Structure 1
Amino acid sequence: MTQFPFDFNDLPTPTYLVGGWVRDRLLNRQGKYLDLDFVLPEKAIETAQAIARKYQAGFVVLDAERHIARVVFKDGTADFAQQMGNSLVADLGRRDFCMNAIALECHQLIEVEANSQEICYIDPFDGIGDLKAKRIRMVAPENLAEDPLRILRGYRQAAQLGFEIEDWTKQVLMKLAPKLKSVAAERVLTELGYLLSIPNGRQRMLDAVRDRILEDWLPSRYLNLARFSETEKVISNLLTRFPSLELFFSKSLAGDRHALVIVKLAALTKAANALEFLCLSRAEQRWLVGILRYLSQFITLLDSASPKEQYKFFQSTLEFFPAIATLALASNYQWEQITPWIERWLTPHDPIAYPMALITGDDLRQELGIPPSPKIGEFLEKVKIAQVEGKINSKQDALDFVKILMDTQSNA
C-alpha cells in the first residue's frame, strides 16, 4: 500500500491523480520519492494551499493563470492543477502521450487499497494498452506542438521505461523537431540531463541525434557519435574496477545535474563552443572546456610522460581528470596505459598527483629572507618539480635547493 504524505480524505470530491504516478503504479515501478499530479474541476490553488497549511509543507504557485500550485513535502511533491476543458477526458486529451493520459479518482483509491479491490482507471486513449505493449504513442500532434519540449521528452521516457516510440508518433516528433528551438535553453538542458542520467540511455540519445530531433541544439557536424557510443560502457567498466569513482560521477555541478551529464556531453561533442547555446552553469562550462582542451594533451602523454609532465598535467586537471580518462578510453586508448593515471588520481598524497608541500612561502621569507614577491611562487613551483622528480625529499633539501637557485640567479 502506497504511503502518501497527506490524507486523501482532505481532498474535495472529485480529485483525480493523473500522469506519471498513475503510469508508474501500473508498471509497478514507483520509487521512494513521490511525484504526484492532481487535477481538480475547481479551486486547485486553494486546495493546495489548505493541504500545505495543514501539513506544514512548502507551497508555491507555479502558474496563476492556469491555476497550478505545488506542495512540497519531505519525500515528494504534489502538483494541483485546475482541469482544462469541460471534463476530465478533455483535460486528459491535452496531454502528451497516451500512457500519461490515465487517471484515477483519489477517494476511490482509498477504498480500493483499504479493501484490496480492483481499481477502475479512467483511460480514454488506451494508455494501459500502450503500457502492456511497451509503446509510446501520442495523444495528438497538436499537443506536442503546443509544448515542443514534449518532443525530446518522448525519447527520454523511451529510455526511462525501455519502451519503443510508435512509428507514426516518431514521424510526428521528427516533423515537429524544428519547433524545439523555440524552447528555453534551460528547459532543453534539464531534459537532456535527465536523458543522459538514465542508465542505458545511450541508444535513445543516439536515436534523438540521428532523427535530427536535436539538430538546432546539437548540430550533427559538431558531434562525435563514435566516442559517445562507447562512453556508457566505459563508465560502467570504470565503476566496476574503481567503485570509489561513483563519488566523482555523482558530484553535483548545477542543482540536480551531476558530473555524469557533463562527461557524456563532452564525449558527444567535438568542441565546447558547440554547446554554447545550452546555457550551462559556470562550473559545467569550466569542466566541459577543460575536458576537451586537455584530452589531446593527455593522449600525447600516454606513450611516455616524465614525472614532471605528469605532475603539471594533474595540477591543471585534478578537478575533472577522470572525465578525461573516460573520453580517452572511449576513444579506444588502452586500459593498461590509462589505469596507472587513474590510480594516482585516486591515491591521497600520491607523490606526483598530490605531492606534499616540503616548504611554504613563510619558510622562504623567514629562513631565507626572501621578500614577498612573485619570486616566492616561482621558487615553490620549482621545489615541487624537483620533489616529484625525486631530487629532494625533505624541508632542508628544499631550502638548500632554493639557496642554489638564488645563487644561480644572482650570478647570472
Structure 2
Amino acid sequence: MACQLMTRLQPQRWPIPLNRLPTGTVLVGGAVRDGLLNRLPEHPDLDMVVPADALGQVRKLAQEFGGTCVVLDRDRDMARLVLGRWTIDLARQDGDDLTADLLRRDYRINAIALTLKPQPQLLDPSGGIADLREQRITAIHEQNLLDDPLRLLRALRLSAELSMTIDQGTLEMIARHRHLLPKVAPERIQAELLKLVQANNADQAIHLLHSLKLIASWSSDQPQRKLNASALTADEQPLALPLARLTQLLSDQGMHDLRFSRKQIQRCLRLRAWWNRDQQQSVNNLTERERLKLHEELEEDLPAFTLAWPIERQKEWLRRWRDQDDILFHPCAPLNGRTLQAELGLRPGPRLGELIHHLCLERAFGRIRSHDDAIQCARAWMNKPL
C-alpha cells in the first residue's frame, strides 16, 4: 500500500527532490489521505514533519530552489515553502516521537504518515486507514478538538469534500463543544466555510451544520431554498452553487463578522435582496427599469439566482444568459460618455450619467438598434423638459 501511494504521489514531479529534504522527513495529512483515496489534485499541498528546525530548513530550501518562505507559527516551528503552484509545509515533530505527533491531530484519517525512504512505510497509530475504508470521520481524542476548536467545523468540511459520514461519538463531541467555535479567529472559520460550500456533498453538510447549531452566531434565519443545479453546466456549477449556498448559510452581519471580502459580501447581499424580492413579486411583473437593474446587478451571478426556480423556467433564463449577444441579459449602453459629449456637447456630470442609463434601458428592450437610433434617442431625451 505504501509503494502504491508513493506511485500516486509522483514525487519525481515535486519541485524539490526527496534527497534534498531533511533526514527523517515524513509526509502527513491531506496528501496521504487523498493519495490513499486516489483523489489527489495535480498539485497537492504537501504537509511534512521534520525532526527539528522546520523554519531553518524552509529558509534553506527557499534559498536553494528560489522559493518563498512563509512563517506559519514561529513558536511551534512551522513554515511554508511556496514554489510556483506548489506549497510545502514543514513542521517540527510535536511530541517525543512520530506516533505522539500523529495522535495529537484532529481526525484519524488525517493522522496517517508516509516515510519518504526508498522502501516507504505507512504509520497509522489511530486506525485512519480503516476509517478511510469505512468512509468514516472519527476524532482521535476529544481533547484534540478542544486544543483547536476550528477542528469542530473541519469535520463537516471534510464530510462535504470526501462524502464521508461523521462518527456518532464525534458528532456528540462537536455538539458538546460548539460554544468554543466563536473563540477561533474569524478568518480561519471563513476559510473552512468557503471550502465547505464548494464541496460536492455540501448540501448535506450544511443541513448538519444547522442541526448541530455549530455556526448559529453567524447563520441566516431566512428559509432555506432547495437548490437544483441540474440545468447548469460543469463549468457553471462551481460559480453558482457556492455563492447560493453561502448566501443561504450566513446572515449579512455574519459575513461581516467572519471578515469576508467586500466583493463576496456585496455579491451575497445582492443575491439575497433579489431572492427576497422574487418571493414577494415575480420577476415577470417587474417594470422595465427594475428588470434592467436585476440584470445589471446579477449579470455575473444570474445562474445562482435561478437555482431555486422550476427547471423549465430556469433553463429558459440560462439559455438567454449564455447568449452574450442577448441585450437584456447582458446590458450595456450603445454610446459611451465621450461620444455623447462630442455629439451633443454635454459636460461630464449626473445628467450625462442619467442619459447613458436611459440609452442602456432603451437598447435592452430593443428600441435602439443602431448608432443613429442611439443618437436620435439621446437628442429626444435631451429635449424633454427637466
TM-score (norm 1): 0.81
Q: Conserved in 2, the CA contact under 8 Å of 1:307 and 1:352?
A: no
1:390: how far off?
Answer: 4.3
Determine which of 10, 16, 24 is the counterpart of 1:3: 10
**Residues 347-367 of structure 1: per-residue CA shift (max 9 Å, x gap):** 223232345644444454444
Residue identity matched to 1:111: Q
Determine which of 272, 283, 295 is the counterpart of 2:263: 283
Determine which of 245, 249, 260 is the counterpart of 1:268: 249
Aligned to 1:140: 141
Gap change, CA 1:88 and 1:324, over 3 Å in 2? same
1:391: how far off?
Answer: 4.2
Residue identity matched to 1:282: R
How far, CA to CA, are the matches of 1:394 and 1:12 in structure 2? 69
How far, CA to CA, are the matches of 1:178 and 1:197 in structure 2? 25
Instruction: Please state if 1:102 is matched with 2:108.
Output: no
Q: Conserved in 2, the CA contact under 8 Å of 1:302 and 1:337?
A: no
Aligned length: 375
How far, CA to CA, are the matches of 1:127 and 1:372 in structure 2? 66
Determine which of 366, 369, 373 is the counterpart of 1:393: 369
1:179: how far off?
Answer: 0.5
How far, CA to CA, are the matches of 1:245 and 1:399 in structure 2? 37
Q: Conserved in 2, the CA contact under 8 Å of 1:17 and 1:36?
A: yes
Q: Flag the structure with larger Rg.
A: 1
Gap change, CA 1:3 and 1:325, over 3 Å in 2? same
1:130: how far off?
Answer: 1.9
Q: How does 1:8-407 map to 2 (within 5 A)?
A: 8-107=18-117, 110-112=118-120, 119=121, 121-218=122-219, 222-225=221-224, 227=225, 230-231=226-227, 234-235=228-229, 237-240=230-233, 245=236, 249-250=238-239, 260-269=241-250, 271-298=251-278, 300-305=281-286, 309-326=290-307, 330=308, 333-354=309-330, 357-407=333-383
Gap change, CA 1:67 and 1:340, over 3 Å in 2? same
After TM superposition, the structure 1 stretch with the greater mean CA deviation from structure 2, 126-135 or 142-151, is 126-135
1:139: how far off?
Answer: 1.3
How far, CA to CA, are the matches of 2:179 and 2:222 in structure 1? 18
Gap change, CA 1:223 and 1:396, over 3 Å in 2? closer
Gap change, CA 1:298 and 1:143, over 3 Å in 2? same
Structure 1 or 2: larger helix share?
1
Q: Conserved in 2, the CA contact under 8 Å of 1:181 and 1:217?
A: no
How far, CA to CA, are the matches of 2:235 and 2:111 in structure 1? 41
1:62 counterpart SS class:
strand
**Residues 243-301 of structure 1: per-residue CA shift (max 9 Å, x gap):** 6635xx44xxxxxxxx64332111335x5334332211000111111111122334524
Residue identity matched to 1:239: L
How far, CA to CA, are the matches of 1:177 and 1:285 in structure 2? 25
Gap change, CA 1:140 and 1:312, over 3 Å in 2? closer
TM-score (norm 2): 0.86
Gap change, CA 1:84 and 1:372, over 3 Å in 2? closer
Gap change, CA 1:64 and 1:340, over 3 Å in 2? same
1:238 counterpart SS class:
coil
**Residues 221-247 of structure 1: per-residue CA shift (max 9 Å, x gap):** x1433x1xx22xx22x1324xx6635x
Q: Conserved in 2, the CA contact under 8 Å of 1:218 and 1:275?
A: no
Q: Percent of pairs identical after alignment?
A: 32
**Residues 61-107 of structure 1: per-residue CA shift (max 9 Å, x gap):** 22121111222233422211111122222212211112222223222
2:217 counterpart SS class:
coil
After TM superposition, the structure 1 stretch with the greater mean CA deviation from structure 2, 142-151 or 93-102, is 93-102
How far, CA to CA, are the matches of 2:101 and 2:138 in structure 1? 17
How far, CA to CA, are the matches of 1:23 and 1:44 in structure 2? 22
How far, CA to CA, are the matches of 2:110 and 2:235 in structure 1? 38
1:152: how far off?
Answer: 0.6
**Residues 295-317 of structure 1: per-residue CA shift (max 9 Å, x gap):** 23345243445655533432333
How far, CA to CA, are the matches of 1:359 and 1:31 in structure 2? 46
How far, CA to CA, are the matches of 1:372 and 1:90 in structure 2? 69
Aligned to 1:253: none
Gap change, CA 1:37 and 1:351, over 3 Å in 2? closer
Gap change, CA 1:15 and 1:286, over 3 Å in 2? same
How far, CA to CA, are the matches of 2:291 and 2:20 in structure 1? 64
Aligned to 1:115: none
Residue identity matched to 1:224: P
1:194 counterpart SS class:
helix
